[in-house]
Amino acid sequence: MSLTEDGNAQIAADAAIIHGVNPHIDDSLVPPQKEGVRISISTYLGPFVVFLLFIGFWEYMHRDGMRRFLDKNPSLLPSPVTVIDQAFLDSVVRKQLLEGLWWTTYAAFIGLAISVVIGMTLAVFMAQAVWAERSIYPYLVALQATPVLAIVPIIYSVFGGGMASRIYVVVMISIFPIVTNTLFGLTSVDASQHDLFTLRKATRRTRLYKLQFPSAMPAIFTGYRISAGLAVIGAIVGEQFFRQGQKPGIGIVMEQFRQKLRYPQMYGGLLVASALGIVVFFIFSWIGKLVVGHWHETTRRNS
């Protein structure tokens, strides 16, 4: 039973508005027009052109630019073709690079997982009261501001010279965005939505799970995405200082090639490391879109 005399007629009338038949009825039943997702040539053309320019510039620097502008031996910057040939098409080198990729990914993901668990727990605690936030925040800022290099000896003495220390570096570098973004999400819930829960006498727990966490999801995923990128950087930075154990990450593999003056192989390692960063970033963007995309209104407009 509809309140208005005839609900169906009303909806039919609204359908008429959508089709532009009668513009003199209210918008209360007309859903906003959905923007079509435009995937056209221009979506791919731009990135493709920039990629070609990048490769072209690289090749040019190898052939002429290194000598002309930098007065350096061109062999220090091998041609992209040489890199592909000697780093990726050589099965022994490829195996070394893939093993490096594996150990770097391993350190990055374990560290990131620890950051997520500790960071979100901290954020939930800090969201409970202003005093909690005030008490903890300075330490996070200090952690964020401390250069890894400065505390290498301390890390070494606590976690040793291998994988554990690398994971520690990853946590140290990647935890901050997770805490701040989660905290921001949890505490920036609309005041009248809070009132809604207050009126029904919702407990702190109910409020957290049914209001604050869902509302914070877009911010939380922004934090994950930023931290995932940092985790990869942290893993490679950690490898510069903590090389013990038979677990050579991509940073170590690259350093070994550099010492043997095998530049094409070293650049191959660099490409693999960048690719890892890009892949991780997109995986987290994609997961975020999957989780909140159907309800979250992004402010970003592509035109």
Partner 1 sequence: MAERTQSETVAPTMVTPMNDSVPAPALSFKGVSMVYPDGTHALSETSFDVRPGEFVTVVGPSGCGKSTLLKIASGLHKPTTGSVEVDRSKVGYVFQDATLLQWRTVQRNVELLAELDGVGKAERAKRAADAIQLVGLAGFEGKYPKQLSGGMKMRASLARTLVLDPSVFLFDEPFGAVDEITRERLNDEVISLFERQRFAGLFITHSISEAVFLSTRVLVMSARPGALVAEYDIPFEYPRRPELRFEPEFARLCGELSASLRGAHA
Site of interaction with partner 1 (CB under 8 A): 1-4, 7, 10-11, 24-32, 34, 190, 192-193, 195-202, 206, 210-211, 214-215, 217, 292, 294-297
CB of 192 to partner 1, least distance (A): 5
CB of 11 to partner 1, least distance (A): 7
Do the beta carbons of residue 157 and residue 217 sit within 8 Å? no
Using the minimum distance from each CB to partner 1, give the nearer residue, 29 or 151: 29
Using the minimum distance from each CB to partner 1, give the nearer residue, 217 or 271: 217
Using the minimum distance from each CB to partner 1, give the nearer residue, 3 or 41: 3
Tokens 């950051």 locate to 115
Tokens 């963007």 locate to 285
Using the minimum distance from each CB to partner 1, give the nearer residue, 198 or 244: 198
CB of 20 to partner 1, least distance (A): 16
Using the minimum distance from each CB to partner 1, give the nearer residue, 65 or 214: 214
CB of 6 to partner 1, least distance (A): 10
CB of 296 to partner 1, least distance (A): 7
